[in-house]
Amino acid sequence: MMDLKIYGIDMWPDQKIQAFRSALLDWYDREKRDLPWRENTDPYRIWVSEIMLQQTRVDTVIPYFQRFLETFPTIPDLAAAEEETLLKTWEGLGYYSRVRNMQVAAQTMVEKYEGKFPETMEEIRSLKGIGPYTAGAIASIAFNLPEPAVDGNVMRVLARLFEVDLDIGNPTNRKVFQAMMEVLIDPQRPGDFNQALMDLGSDIEAPVNPRPHESPVKDFSAAYLHGTMDRYPIKAPKKKPVPIFLKAFILQNQAGDFLLEKNDHSNLLAGFWHFPLLEVEEEKELTLFEAPLEVAEESDVRSRFQADYPFEIDWQEQNFPEVKHIFSHRKWHITLEVGQVKGTPDLAEGSLWVSAQDFESYPFARPQQKIWEVFQGQQE
């Protein structure tokens, strides 16, 4: 395989590729991380771990992974899960479409594959929510198929190995790294090879404060040998998330219960329970020379709320810290409105009066957890 080029990138000859594989796998055999999903090659466990690890740190995932497997030990258990149990088990991990897609995929496996994981790349890729990276990870680790698993960690390592002048954040460039991996992957130990690159990219070759001098493959790295580590990988800065300004209404009735409503109207956090929310315009800081906000402006927000909830409310004039939460493309800025509702009025479908002691029975997304933490902090 002399003079092989992939998208203009000069690949190594066979002998060098063999040496690279040996160096990487020898290091992995000595240093691989002890992780619960590596206890065996059960494809269900590997799938759950890989989906959880998307956009989430390993140390955060471990307790979620263990709890998820305790709650849904098999594919049929996941397929048959109630929505609230499913969301409660995932509560706090974010990106909730991941677990919804997992349940759809589990239901497909029950219907088409007798509740078992399919064993070909084509069948694995056909499952809801499984993209090329996750499919490659499952195929290689569980079924020993020579399929690359190309994620950000792997692209970072490859970009430094070959000084690849392509933006790794641009999805169209993924095919280049995929093609490179198809040449480099060890056909005898594809799962270990993929995991070794993942481990290397998440630690020694991390995006921040890498330790290239400790890399087991530093002698193969063009960026290390040429002193260009600070240039690679190339990645354009992310766009700033769009700010969204919201009011959260924390209301108690005379029994001390709190008003919650279920989000059945939006793909974002659908199925979760939350304090009522109302989108508002940005609240700007005032200078010493500006007049204070008119009381009417504040009461207007409350009036808008009471158009949907026609309660008699004693509003509390209390200042709370702003709650902030960043999604992938938007940033919520939430301020709190707190009040006491007179009586125990009836509620529309999808709303409930719930005692704080019973909150653990209802799935709360992370923004709602933050709201509750801020509220409780002011009550102590």
**50, 147, 261, 337: which is the annotated catalytic residue?**
50
In a domain, 237, yes or no: no
Torsion, Cα of 77, 79, 84, 90 (10° steps): 80
Do 260 and 219 lie in one domain? The reply is no
Task: Dump the DSSP string for 249-290.
Answer: EEEE-TTS-EEEEE--S-STTTT-EE--EEEE---PPPPTTS
Do 264 and 303 reside in the same domain of the chain? yes
The answer to whether residue 308 scores a pLDDT higher than 80 is: yes
Q: What percent of the chain has pLDDT over 70?
A: 93
290 has pLDDT over 70: no
Which one-letter DSSP state was computed for residue 333? E
Question: Is pLDDT of 47 > 80?
Answer: yes
Do 303 and 340 share a domain, yes or no? yes
Higher pLDDT, 300 or 159: 159
- Answer whether residue 117 is part of any domain: yes
Q: What is the pLDDT of residue 52?
A: 96
Same-domain pairing of 114 and 186: yes
Question: Is residue 233 in a domain?
Answer: no
Half-sphere exposure of 147 (CA within 13 A, CB side): 22
Neighbours of 23 (CB within 10 A): 17
Residues 50 and 25 occupy one common structural domain? yes
The model's pLDDT over 70-97, given as tens digits with 9 standing for 90+, comes to: 999 999 999 999 999 999 999 988 888 8
Beta strands 242-252 and 330-341 are: parallel
85 and 198 part of one domain = yes
Domain ranges, residue 292: 242-379
Please tell me whether residues 178 and 60 are part of one structural domain.
yes
255 in the same domain as 208? no
Any catalytic annotation for residue 50?
A: yes
Helices (runs of H) and strands (runs of E) counted in the chain: 14, 10
Mean pLDDT over 204-221 rounds to 94
- Residue 25: CB atoms within 10 A of its CB come to 19
* Total number of domains in the chain: 2
- CATH code of 312's domain: 3.90.79.10
- Domain annotation covers residue 326: yes
Mean pLDDT of 107-130: 97
